[in-house]
Amino acid sequence: MSLTLRTISREQHLAYIQSLPSASHMQVPAWADVKAEWRSESLGWFDKSGELVGVGLVLYRQLPKIKRYLAYLPEGPVINWFAPNLTDWLEPMLAHLKHQGAFSVKMGPPVIIRRWEASSIKAGIQNPDVKRLRDIEADFIEPRAFEVADKLRRMGWQQGEDGGAGFGDVQPRYVYQVPLANRSLEEVHKNFNQLWRRNIKKAEKAGVEVVQGGYQDLAEWQRLYEITAVRDHFRPRPLSYFQRMWTALNTEDPNRMRLYFARHNGVNLSAATMLIVGGHVWYSYGASDNIGREVRPSNAMQWRMLRDAYALGATVYDLRGISDSLDETDHLFGLIQFKVGTGGQAAEYLGEWDFPLNKLLHKALDIYMSRR
């Protein structure tokens, strides 16, 4: 199958994404507007008959002082990763990006290698010999994913160093997902652990209400998010980022991004953003106050978001990144514990891969990034 690659319009790009069951929210054209500090381009792969068969959103970040770029395809490109002729897809992309001045390419194949059920993870947490997720035997393995990794290595791609933590500027390698396809809401609820079910009941009894917010409520979201940042020691994104995200994504599709608040006696205690692309729904950012935790607002909010995702016909509710550490002293352990309570599955992606088009500049970037 001979493929050609060229720049496509945002309209072509969006129409193709809309024709799929789902794709990453970082591969929709509007994501380019969210990442305003990067230059962007929509790429399209065409087959012999001229039909569009794959797309990719490329973000270009310029190196200081010189006109050379890091080309980044977050959680993309959106192509047939299991195609036997993967080289025919990726070679034209590398040639094109090199022509555009890229010195290095980073991509994140949206390919899952392994999945672990909540019950297996719980057993792992209780086993003192188990330190990481990968120490537990997976409940599902995708053999074709190993072939993809093998092909990429042979082509000269290098697996990115994510240290397993899956946070920072790179996309998370490990995520937590609640499958919704072919399941009733009762089944989903029954799969929650006892603590989750108890907390949902507690919030209901206390009169916690969960409401959807709009653009005008983003300042209130920011208030809760900044409280969270202080508590959890991370640098918060500015309000302007979320305003841009809301405007860009919901201009493209009025139901792309949602905002939720859990409130008690008229006071907002926790908040979250939700992203929707086809059948894939993400819990994207979360925030909570230091007060009112006893009425369990976060559990109530997640249960409402999950029900809304189900009502939208979603096949998966994605709680995004987790660390692969199962060590109870790890500062990210509470996060996996909270997410495992939903009874879903941990999933491991292939991770991010780099192709140095100019080895010297690629190395210089590595050194620059490690000093930041």
pLDDT digits (tens, 9 = 90+) for 16-30: 999 999 999 999 999
Q: Is the pLDDT of residue 196 over 60?
A: yes
C-alpha–C-alpha distance, residues 93 and 273, integer Å = 33
Q: Is residue 174 within 8 Å of residue 318, measured between CB atoms?
A: no
pLDDT band per the 50, 70, 90 thresholds, residue 363: confident
Locate 274 and state its tokens. Answer: 């939700």
| SS3 label, residue 6 | strand
Per residue in 98-138, pLDDT (tens digit) is 999 999 999 999 999 999 999 999 999 999 999 999 999 99
Task: Indicate if 183 and 169 belong to the same structural domain.
Answer: yes
Between the ranges 64-73, 148-157, 330-339, where is the mean pLDDT highest?
148-157
> Within this chain, do residues 184 and 317 fall inside the same structural domain, yes or no?
yes
CB within 8 A of 127, min separation 6: which ones?
A: none
Sequence-separated (6 or more) residues with CB below 8 Å from residue 245: 34, 257, 273
Closest Cα partner for 120 from 357, 336, 266? 336
Domain membership of residue 148 (yes or no) is no
Residues 210 and 74 in one domain: no
Q: Are residues 197 and 296 in the same domain?
A: yes
Burial classification of residue 264, based on how many CB atoms lie within 10 Å of its CB (0-12 exposed, 13-18 middle, 19 or more buried): buried
**Residue pair 262/12 in contact by the 8 Å Cβ criterion:** no
Examine residue 182 and state whether it is found in any structural domain, yes or no.
yes
pLDDT at 163: 41
pLDDT exceeds cutoff 90 at 44: yes
Which tokens belong to 356? 């140095």
Asked if residue 180 is part of any domain, the answer here is yes
- Has residue 154 been placed in a domain? no
Helix ranges (DSSP H) in the chain: 10-18, 31-34, 86-99, 118-126, 143-155, 185-191, 194-206, 218-232, 239-252, 297-311, 333-340, 359-371
Burial (CB count within 10 angstroms: exposed 0-12, middle 13-18, buried 19+), residue 46: middle
End-to-end CA distance of the chain: 44
Is the pLDDT at 261 greater than 70, yes or no? Answer: yes
What pLDDT, on a 0 to 100 scale, did the predictor assign at position 362?
A: 79
Q: What is the pTM of this model?
A: 0.94
Under 8 Å CB-to-CB from 196, ≥6 apart: which residues?
299, 341, 342, 343
User: In this structure, are 94 and 125 located in the same domain?
Assistant: no
103 and 120, same domain (yes or no) = no
150 falls within a domain: no
26 inside domain? yes
Same domain, 330 and 232: yes
Give the pLDDT score at 169. Answer: 53
Q: Which of the four pLDDT bands, split at 50, 70 and 90, describes residue 313? A: very high
Q: What is the pLDDT of residue 22?
A: 96
Please give the mean pLDDT across all residues of the chain.
94
Residue 284's closest CA among 33, 34, 32? Answer: 34
Residues 76 and 41: beta-carbon distance below 8 Å: no
- Is residue 127 in a domain? yes
- The reply to whether 8 and 100 lie within a common domain is yes
Between CA 279 and CA 311 the distance in angstroms is 11
Q: Is 262 helix (H, G, I), strand (E, B) or coil?
A: strand
pLDDT for 370: 66
Give the pLDDT of residue 218.
Answer: 98
> How confident is the model at residue 155, as a pLDDT?
97
Distance CA 135, CA 324 (A): 10
List the single range of 90-94, 171-175, 295-299 with lowest mean pLDDT.
171-175
Q: Taking a C-beta distance cutoff of 8 angstroms, is the pair 326, 133 a contact?
A: yes
- Which of 111-120, 149-158, 207-216, 360-369 is predicted with the least confidence, judged by mean pLDDT? 360-369
Tracing tokens 């009169």 back to the chain, one arrives at 207
In a domain, 152, yes or no: no
| Claim to verify: residue 278 and residue 320 sit in the same structural domain | yes
Residue pLDDT, tens place only, 137-150: 999 999 999 999 99
Contact 22, 281 (CB under 8 A): no
Residues 179 and 214 in one domain: yes
Structural domain including 14 reads 2-107+351-368
Position 175 pLDDT exceeds 50: yes
**Domain containing 176 — which CATH number?**
3.40.630.30
C-alpha 141/C-alpha 158 separation (Å) is 22
Residue 310 backbone dihedrals phi, psi, to 5 degrees = -60, -45
Please state the rounded mean pLDDT for residues 254-280.
98
Q: What is the pLDDT of residue 332?
A: 85
Q: Are residues 10 and 41 in the same domain?
A: yes
More confident residue, 221 or 165: 221
Structural element, H or E, at residue 42? strand 39-46
Number of compact structural domains in the chain: 2
Number of Cβ within a 10 Å radius of residue 54? 21
Same domain (yes/no): 330, 360: no
